[in-house]
Every structure is written in C-alpha cells, then in structure tokens.
Amino acid sequence: MKKIKKILAAVLLSALAIFAVVGCGSQQTGSGKKVLKVGSAIDFAPFEFQDEGETAYQGFDMDLIRAVAKEMGSEAEIQNIGFDGLIPALQAKNIDVIISGMTINDERKQKVGFSDPYYRSGLTMVVRSDEETIKSFKDLKGHKVAVQIGTTSANMVKEMEGVTVTELNTPADCFMELKARGVDAVVNDRPVNDYYIKQSQAVGVKSLEDKLSAEDYGIAMAKDNADLQKKINEALKKLHDNGEYDKIYQKWFGASK
Ligand code: GLN
C-alpha cells in the first residue's frame, strides 16, 4: 500500500513538472521572465516588417503583441515564419500565438482559437497606373491576378469565374509580378495596399477604391488553450482601456480609431 502511494506521488509530481513547463504555453527566460513565443510572417507592412539593415521587427502587430505580452508579465519572442506555415507551427506547438494580420474565419477556427478582433480590415486591388479595364472586382474576369498563398485573398479570387490566379509567397512578390506585367492585378489586404502605394517604390501602380468584405484580424492560439485565449483577451481589453492600443494605432495609421 505504502509503495503504491509512493508511486502515485511520483507520477503526480512528474505530471505536475511537465505541466509547469508546457502547460501554460510559456517558458522562463534566463532572467526569470516568461516568454510568449510568437509567430509572424514578416512581410506585411505596416503590420509586420523589417527595414533593410535593421534587426528589429516592426509594425502595428509587433507593437501590439509586445504590449500584450508585457500585460501578461511575459516577453514576446518573435519568429519569422511564412504565412502558410503559421498555423502548422502553432499546431506543432513550436509557437504559442500567431499575430500576422490574420483574418478570423470559420475555416481557420476549425484548427485554431482566436482572440477578440483587434483590427478591422478588408480587401482591395492594386493595378498598374495605366490600367483602364479593371475598375472593380467584377472586372477581374478574363484577367491574371496575383495573391499571397494561404490568404483570404487567395480563397476569394480562386472562387471567381474566369480569373487566372498566380499564388506567390509574399505581397512584395505579388507587386513585383504586377510591375513585370506577369499579372494585371493584385488582390490583398487594404491597409497593406494603402501603405505600399504610399511608399516610393510603388511607382507605376495605383490602388482601386472598390473594397471587398470586412475582415477582422485576431491573435491565434492553440484551439485547446482557453486559458491563454482568456489572458490575451484580458490584455487586449486592458490596452484598449488604458489608451495604449490607441497610441499604437496612431503611430502606424496616423489617426484615432
Ligand atoms: N488577412 C489575410 C489573411 O488572413 C492576409 C494576411 C497576411 O498575408 N499576413 O489571410
């Protein structure tokens, strides 16, 4: 009897130890701070990008997740992962959360959990400045269109009749293909298109007014991690209440929400 009790205690202790390490989806750093492992596809300015010669990742999502982690008493450790590799990385538990301008939708909700929405987005098109036939989404019929692989834009364009779709790794690749006349239009998230057009490299292209579907961005976490989901939602709420969210919003979008 005594022996059984001992064995039981040992099993319980090791279970507790394992739970302490992996249970809450965070680890300790050398300095004792917890680490929130974040995955993001760093090619989506102004949400996540890296300036040439810079080591730090910057953008709205980067500031937001660092602030969220801080509220949780953690430090964000951000890994650059291709957009279509983000959900698999989360499922493999290589990362704790995704922040990557990721739209909350039913298809993804089958695989991951989402925080409350943190940004309202939508889709627009970029065409060459001399483009005269494409003025709205319905004009895409009969044309070649580039989209980023694994995105809501890709899903949408693939459903359109008579459109030839080229799927590329990043929005930057899509814009290059447009300028090289390999495609006639790029469908991509509105704030990213707007930001790109404002940049000096965006000569010879323009974005169109027509906007499709309102999309909400969310922070994704493992589907079974309700505890982390709750903590992230609480942190987001705190940042809205204390004005920090607005500060970050103004820094990147220049206006109050
Ligand atoms: N919002 C789009 C999506 O979730 C694109 C995101 C991205 O390319 N980073 O599919």
Query: What does the pLDDT look like over 106-162, one tens digit per residue?
Result: 999 999 999 999 999 999 999 999 999 999 999 999 999 999 999 999 999 999 999
Q: Which residue has the tokens 């890296």?
A: 50
- Comparing 27-41, 42-56, 122-136, which segment has the lowest mean pLDDT? 27-41
129, 126, 120: which is closest to 140 by C-alpha?
A: 126
Strand 144-148 and strand 205-207: the pairing is unpaired
CA–CA gap between residue 139 and residue 160 (Å, rounded): 11
Which CA distances in Å does 103 have to 7, 83, 140, 152, 222?
Answer: 48, 12, 23, 7, 16
The reply to whether ligand 1 has any atom less than 6 angstroms from the CB of 148 is yes
The reply to whether ligand 1 has any atom less than 6 angstroms from the CB of 101 is yes
Binned at pLDDT 50, 70 and 90, residue 21 comes out as very low
How high is the mean pLDDT of the chain? 90
- The atom number, within ligand 1, closest to the CA of 152 reads 10
CA 149 – ligand 1 centroid, Å: 9
The reply to whether ligand 1 has any atom less than 6 angstroms from the CB of 100 is yes
Q: What is the pLDDT of residue 23?
A: 44
The reply to whether ligand 1 has any atom less than 6 angstroms from the CB of 188 is no
